[in-house]
Amino acid sequence: MNTNVDVVIAGGGIGGLVTALCLHKAGFSVQIYEASQILKPLGVGIGMRSHGTKFLYELGLAEDLDKLGIRARATQYYSKNGQFIHEELRGLEAGYNWPEYLVHRGDLQLLLCKHVLEKVGKSSVVLGHKLIGFESFAEHVEVKFLDRSSNEIVKKSAKLLIGADGISSTVRTILYPDEGPPVWSGVAMWCGVQRVDKLFLDGRTTLLMGNLNRRLVVYPINENSICWFCHVRIDGPGVKLHKTADWNTIGRVEDILPLFEEMKTDFLDISNMIRTTEKVWEFPVTDRNPLPKWTHNRVTLLGDAAHAMYPIGGNGAAQAIFPIIREVRPAFPMEDTVTIGYNVADAQALVQCFQRYGPTVEALEEYDNIRRGIATSIVNSNRQGGPQQVLKIVDEHSPNGFKDIRDIISKEEVDAIIRKYNRLAGFDLNTLNNEPNVFPNDENKKEYTRDDKQKES
Ligand SMILES: Cc1cc2nc3c(=O)[nH]c(=O)nc-3n(C[C@H](O)[C@H](O)[C@H](O)COP(=O)(O)OP(=O)(O)OC[C@H]3O[C@@H](n4cnc5c(N)ncnc54)[C@H](O)[C@@H]3O)c2cc1C
């Protein structure tokens, strides 16, 4: 059968769009089918850590990212009583060669879509097409979509199908019909974006406050907006989901305001921020149990569809955008999932590997072998709190506050927790800075170096 595209991607979220951009850049033809009829800037904020930025820069987004978001400088950890625990430098300030960005999630999605339309082609993103089924044949996969404007079923063929259709993935449900809904952590999250005249602290810092049962995260997403997330444990992990994991559910300020009234800082009026936010959303913090396999013949999963994880460590989006070609590389020994980190020193080999295998089942199998174990480790680590274990330790040892944080936890212990997570999640400083580019001969690439950093300051 003649198929006119190599890869059909179901889902035009951050994972699907970046995958389209990089596959196109590597010379493969791609087509995205997105269920929504209009792409609107939905969501709140998202952190794009340096490993994600590195790749987005290679894809030509450097200048646009600078215009869109905020270059993060640091994350500050505070106890629930507002006592300072630790400052973790981020991006260039931490020594990475690439910044970390804090952006509005919807703005990032629209920016990526603009790049896909410009580079891959005007017809490369088909909106209003919801994947409802597929069938693999010897040489191709036939994918069925519901065209939501005509209500007709449309069939498309490709060599491969990538399910990048998010946490409630239809592709995943078809592959694992008995799995059920996402797994609820027992934590509910309220979030919103507040317009401000002035950003708090230096305008490039994330505030992380509380403990693993009640936690506040606030960060700037552009020059005049900050976004906030209030996490509240209301049940134990693994209980049946009380609400669907839908980012469009409206939340009520009254439900959370009393719970966060005692959290105070001298640089941000937290109660006022929550009270004056125009729209508040509520979302149950969910993830997915790791799967025994992502690739099934000509079909695979990517991003949240494959490994939805708790929003901890500023990692969800960056994990999704680790592109498929970068994940296809010769297997390396998994000695210990924590120490292995994300060694992408062989990124160039990955591209060659994909080019060697072509858009084939072998390529998808290799992707599954390499990537699934690492993603599973991150999902599991996030269930334990990831780097936010620091908050847990401090809270358990000093529920009523402390005189000196060093009586509770040493700087070395904090650094070790954060470093361990960074290695696991693929942003170990030295490893990342020394990795070759995925597209090493690209003349258009723009990299920010220490010199840029000095110029900025
Ligand atoms: C509306 C929305 C708002 C979000 N807001 C935030 C936020 O504020 N902060 C945060 O940290 N994370 C947010 N997330 C999650 C975050 O975007 C992801 O965790 C991360 O970016 C991984 O992206 P992904 O592409 O794998 O999944 P997603 O970003 O979820 O994208 C999946 C895409 O697939 C589409 N889709 C679903 N089913 C089908 C189907 N059957 N056929 C075709 N297309 C389909 C969806 O419409 C969506 O566009 C949000 C997700 C969504 C969908």
Handedness of CA 437, 439, 443, 446 (dihedral sign): negative
Ligand 1 lined by 12 (C-beta under 6 Å): yes
How is residue 422 written in tokens?
């960074």
| 453 domain-assigned | no
| 448 domain-assigned | no
CA distances (Å), origin 199, targets 89, 223, 244, 384: 18, 7, 33, 31
| Residue in the block written with tokens 């858009």 | 359
| 451 domain-assigned | no
Ligand 1 lined by 102 (C-beta under 6 Å): no
Nearest CA owner, ligand 1 atom 16: 317
Considering its fold, how many domains does the chain have in total? 1
If one counts every other C-beta atom within 10 angstroms of the C-beta of residue 261, the result is 11
Would you give the end-to-end CA distance of the chain in angstroms?
Answer: 58
Handedness of CA 134, 136, 137, 139 (dihedral sign): positive
Please give the distance, rounded to the nearest whole angstrom, from the Cα atom of residue 14 to the centre of ligand 1: 7
Please give the distance, rounded to the nearest whole angstrom, from the Cα atom of residue 330 to the centre of ligand 1: 29
Say what the pLDDT of residue 334 is: 28
Q: Looking at residue 116, which CATH number applies to its domain?
A: 3.50.50.60
| 444 domain-assigned | no
Per DSSP bridges, beta strands 280-287 and 183-195 are: antiparallel
If one counts every other C-beta atom within 10 angstroms of the C-beta of residue 5, the result is 17
Largest CA distance in the chain: 72
Burial of 205 (0-12, 13-18, 19+ CB in 10 A): buried
Cβ contact 6:359 at 8 Å: yes
How long a stretch of residues is the chain? 457
Say what the pLDDT of residue 312 is: 63
Say what the pLDDT of residue 238 is: 61
Please give the distance, rounded to the nearest whole angstrom, from the Cα atom of residue 49 to the centre of ligand 1: 18
Please give the distance, rounded to the nearest whole angstrom, from the Cα atom of residue 278 to the centre of ligand 1: 22
| 353 domain-assigned | yes
Say what the pLDDT of residue 452 is: 55
> 40: which residues sit within 8 A by CB, 6+ positions away?
106
Say what the pLDDT of residue 137 is: 94
Ligand 1 atom at shortest distance from the alpha carbon of 104 = 8
Nearest CA owner, ligand 1 atom 11: 46
Please give the distance, rounded to the nearest whole angstrom, from the Cα atom of residue 252 to the centre of ligand 1: 23
Please give the distance, rounded to the nearest whole angstrom, from the Cα atom of residue 454 to the centre of ligand 1: 36
Say what the pLDDT of residue 385 is: 63
Say what the pLDDT of residue 17 is: 92
Ligand 1 lined by 35 (C-beta under 6 Å): yes
Helix axes 14-25, 50-58, angle to 10 degrees: 40
Ligand 1 lined by 319 (C-beta under 6 Å): no
Ligand 1 lined by 165 (C-beta under 6 Å): yes
Ligand 1 lined by 80 (C-beta under 6 Å): no
If one counts every other C-beta atom within 10 angstroms of the C-beta of residue 452, the result is 13
Q: What is the pTM of this model?
A: 0.88
Each residue's pLDDT, cut to its tens digit, for the chain (457 residues) gives: 445 799 999 999 988 898 888 888 889 899 999 999 998 888 889 888 888 888 889 889 999 999 999 999 999 999 999 999 999 999 999 999 999 999 999 999 999 999 999 999 999 999 999 999 999 999 999 999 999 999 999 999 999 999 999 999 999 999 999 998 888 888 888 999 999 999 999 999 999 999 888 999 999 999 999 999 999 988 766 666 666 667 778 888 998 999 898 899 999 999 999 999 999 999 888 889 999 999 899 999 888 898 888 776 554 444 444 444 333 332 332 222 222 223 222 223 334 446 678 888 888 888 887 777 777 877 777 677 677 788 989 999 999 999 999 999 999 999 988 888 777 666 788 888 887 777 766 644 445 444 555 545 4
CA distances (Å), origin 438, targets 328, 344, 346, 396: 11, 9, 9, 43
How is residue 122 written in tokens?
């005007």
Quote the DSSP letter at residue 377: H
Nearest CA owner, ligand 1 atom 6: 43
Ligand 1 lined by 13 (C-beta under 6 Å): yes
Please give the distance, rounded to the nearest whole angstrom, from the Cα atom of residue 303 to the centre of ligand 1: 9
> What is the residue range of 258's domain?
5-434
Say what the pLDDT of residue 247 is: 74
Please give the distance, rounded to the nearest whole angstrom, from the Cα atom of residue 226 to the centre of ligand 1: 21
Ligand 1 lined by 343 (C-beta under 6 Å): no
| 147 domain-assigned | yes
Candidates 200, 303, 214; CA nearest to 262 is 214
Please give the distance, rounded to the nearest whole angstrom, from the Cα atom of residue 16 to the centre of ligand 1: 9
Ligand 1 atom at shortest distance from the alpha carbon of 15 = 25
| 337 domain-assigned | yes
Ligand 1 atom at shortest distance from the alpha carbon of 47 = 11
| 454 domain-assigned | no
